[in-house]
Structure 1
Amino acid sequence: MSKAKVWVVLGIAVLALAAGCISSEAAEALRIGLIPAEDQREMLKQYEGIIEYLEESVGMEIKPFVATDYSGVIEAMRSGKLDIAYFGPFSYVLAADVANVEAFAVPMRSDGRTTYNSIIIAHAETGIKSISDLKGKTFAFVDPASTSGHLFPRAMLQKAGIDPEKDFSSMVFAGGHDAVELAVKNRKVDAGADSDKTYDRMVKDGLIDPKVNIIIAKSDPIPGSPWAWRRDLPDDLKGKFKAAILEVGTKRPDILAKMSGGIAGYAEAKDADYNVIRETAKILNLDLKSLN
């Protein structure tokens, strides 16, 4: 066979895998998606250890992928180009609606909690002390499909009588949680929405000062960001991956110690855990399909 024909055959094989034709016996790599909650390089760096652990535990090469936005991971799952992904709660609900995915694990903190909070922050020099002070100010959300960076803070704003489209002098989507914090820190915007996990990590790392980026509001608890797989993956592969994720906290706590958010391990998750996200979207009259 000529070299040209060899490359054609290889190309067809690659396309077959990209189309979702994966099996536990034939697949050479498991494709894992990560929402761009932070800078892409930072995300890959943080997950380097757990990717290596999963490769050893599952017995397959793991290929991580960080999209440029949340919808990129959802679309990749929908089209079969990813097998498993780590979503935010809201982006998971969107993916479950259009990509036939199912949650199976959720991060657990050292105190056993599997929830976190959305926060609204403001630069200290703006004089903003509460949500009511935000009218006429500039504001940054994370991404339209972000839970703590858009869905929940929008609900908090609405409850306080603020319409982001009408009451802010300008509004942007920064693309990542860390990007919102830095935008506020550098006075690119007056205020923004973030997760307490990213805020705490950036304070700990000295990237932001809590006396400068001040928290002016905090949401009710939000169910944690889930790992979710395509429902059509082989059951044996699902079992291996789930077991590995649920055991990493006891087998390799050193890996989790290097990740942001204070993750101590993972607990089992199910789709119904995220009904509160669906209900919040309904309250805001958000069309889930329009955000994907």
Structure 2
Amino acid sequence: MPKSVFSLFMLLAAFLLFSCGEGEEAVKVSLDKRQEISFRPQLPAITYAYLPQYSNTESFQRHHRLVEYLAEQTGLPMRQVFPDTFTHHISMFGQGKIDISFSNPFIYVKLANRFGAKAMARIIEEDGRAEFRGQIIARKDNEAIQSIKDCRGKSWVAVDPSSAGGYLFPLGHFVDNGLNLRDFKEVVFAGGRQENVILGVYAGLHDLGSIREGSLKVVENKIDINQIKVVASSRSYPGWVYAYSPRMPQEAADKIRAALLKLDYQHNPRHRAILDAAKFIGFVPSDDRDFDPVRELSKKVGLDLE
């Protein structure tokens, strides 16, 4: 017997010897009974996506109660999906992977122009308006920035090129005050996250940032937001919008719209809990014409809607 084979034989014998201790019987394993493990694909459902301006965890916490409510009210199976970026949200909608889009008005206009998205309802913000603004922020101790004019030549961090409150609205405000993109030291984007803009300004990585109004509350448990000042705010524009894919049956879209408009913040405690989690207080009916001011602003600042 070759030496290598003998060594292998002795190694196996030692393994068996130590595996079966004194008084122990070897366990016989039968391969006659086997169970096939099959992959279970997700059942068909209407997909609901919240434009990822915050983390997926934040998006889920804000909207899972609302998704459950819509499924219950309409009798339609619904599932929340989570695009990674603003661009991913747009592409998923175009590919038919998002049926219901909750997005800022700038993204909505892109979805409508490119893929025929149809507006169904706008949210009513916590301040009672169906509109919102962008804000330009800086550190409170940054004495070099006291007004919008002082932003010239500074480093600007924005949310995303497709962010409304976090980029488009502040850019329009800068243009109205005589500042164009070339007037900044740099313009960088924070991966579509409002939190990243605020934290970048707070840490001194950038001189100023642009966010949607109300976003400072999201990080109030992480940083001292009293160290952040609002340098300026844009004018108000039509608020965040629910839109549906042209692939969706009209009957299903009508059921979802009716369920949204049925939510009663004032008189129904369960509805209040759903809306409190989502950070708005109700809905108003909406259609495509509501967003013409966003189209006009985009044209003025030279941003592409196609």
In structure 2, the residue matched to 1:162 is 179
CA–CA distance in 1 between the matches of 2:49 and 2:122? 15
In structure 1, the residue matched to 2:160 is 143
SS of match in other structure, 1:211: helix
In structure 2, the residue matched to 1:38 is 54
| Pairs within 5 Å for 1:67-146 | 67-109=83-125, 112-127=128-143, 128-146=145-163
- 1:210 deviates by 4.7
In structure 2, the residue matched to 1:257 is 276
- 1:185 deviates by 1.4
Counterpart check, 1:235 vs 2:235 = no
The one-letter code matched in structure 2 to 1:139 is W
- 1:232 deviates by 3.2
- 1:163 deviates by 2.2
1:266 paired residue among 274, 283, 297: 283
- 1:143 deviates by 0.8
SS of match in other structure, 2:52: coil
CA–CA distance in 2 between the matches of 1:239 and 1:144? 32
SS of match in other structure, 1:236: helix
In structure 2, the residue matched to 1:22 is none
Query: Structure 1 vs Structure 2: percent identity of aligned residues?
Result: 29
CA–CA distance in 1 between the matches of 2:64 and 2:123? 17
In structure 1, the residue matched to 2:11 is none
- 1:154 deviates by 0.8
TM-score (norm 2): 0.80
2:67 paired residue among 37, 46, 51: 51
Contact map agreement 1:109 1:265 (CA 8 A) in 2: yes
Cα separation, partners in 2 of 1:125 and 1:111, compared to 1, 3 Å: closer
In structure 2, the residue matched to 1:63 is 79
Cα separation, partners in 2 of 1:182 and 1:249, compared to 1, 3 Å: farther
- 1:152 deviates by 1.1
Counterpart check, 1:182 vs 2:199 = yes
In structure 2, the residue matched to 1:244 is 259
SS of match in other structure, 2:48: strand
CA–CA distance in 2 between the matches of 1:179 and 1:153? 17
Task: Show CA shifts across 1:118-174 (max 9, x none).
Answer: 11111122211111111222111111111111111111112222222x222222111
- 1:182 deviates by 1.6
TM-score (norm 1): 0.84
CA–CA distance in 2 between the matches of 1:131 and 1:242? 40
Contact map agreement 2:64 2:80 (CA 8 A) in 1: no
Gaps in structure 2 of 5+ consecutive residues: 1-34
In structure 2, the residue matched to 1:173 is 189
CA–CA distance in 2 between the matches of 1:191 and 1:67? 27
Coordinate RMSD, CA, aligned: 2.2
SS of match in other structure, 1:220: coil
Contact map agreement 2:96 2:247 (CA 8 A) in 1: no
CA–CA distance in 2 between the matches of 1:284 and 1:143? 15
Q: Give the structure with higher Rg (CA).
A: 2
In structure 2, the residue matched to 1:18 is none
SS of match in other structure, 1:258: helix
Gaps in structure 1 of 5+ consecutive residues: 15-26
2:226 paired residue among 201, 211, 222: 211
Contact map agreement 1:75 1:99 (CA 8 A) in 2: no
- 1:253 deviates by 1.2
